[in-house]
């Protein structure tokens, strides 16, 4: 991966989770932007156009799936930015599978199944695919 700093937008309403992710990505050399709800996350995404977005699904003001759908409809950048959904819901949830299929490029990680290191690895993989 080139040595240019990548920007990640982390949208997570659980403060301890958000802080842990932001800290980890900053240590990994990323510029970290953050939001605690989908409405603010959408504003920041459109304004700053990060290289990748980590997006919680269950949040106040606007849930992650709604935010992703709005972002995908907004413009070319919004349609193509990689998004990794973070969820407590199971992988067989039909709504998630449908959204992920419709809103490529999107992936999801079930929160109980990963560590922060796993998230970093997945983000780096997604960014490498984009180059």
pLDDT digits (tens, 9 = 90+) for 29-61: 999 999 999 999 999 999 999 999 999 988 889
pLDDT recorded at residue 2: 46
CA-based torsion, 70, 97, 94, 89: positive or negative:
negative
d(CA 31, CA 37): 19
pLDDT at 65: 87
Task: List the chain domain ranges.
Answer: 7-130
Question: Rounded to whole angstroms, how far apart are CA atoms 6 and 38?
Answer: 21
The CATH architecture one would assign to domain 7-130 is 3-Layer(aba) Sandwich (3.40)
Q: How many whole angstroms from its chain centre is CA 15?
A: 16
pLDDT tens per residue, range 54-87: 999 888 899 888 999 999 998 899 999 999 888 7
- The Cα–Cα gap between 95 and 123 comes to 23
- Better-predicted residue by pLDDT, 26 or 93: 26
Q: Tell me the mean pLDDT in the region 4-9.
A: 92
């Amino acid at each position: 991966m080139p040595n240019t700093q990548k920007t990640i937008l982390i949208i997570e309403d659980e403060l301890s989770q958000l802080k842990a992710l932001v800290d980890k990505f900053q240590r990994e050399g990323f510029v970290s932007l953050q939001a605690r709800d989908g409405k603010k996350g959408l504003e920041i995404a459109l304004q700053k156009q990060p290289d990748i977005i980590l997006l919680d699904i269950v949040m106040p003001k606007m849930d992650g799936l709604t935010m992703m759908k709005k972002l995908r409809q907004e413009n070319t950048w919004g349609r193509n930015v990689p998004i990794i959904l973070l969820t407590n819901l199971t992988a067989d949830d039909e709504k998630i599978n449908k959204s992920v299929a419709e809103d490529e490029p999107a992936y999801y990680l079930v929160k109980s199944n990963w560590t922060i290191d796993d998230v970093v690895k997945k983000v780096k993989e997604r960014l490498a695919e984009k180059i």
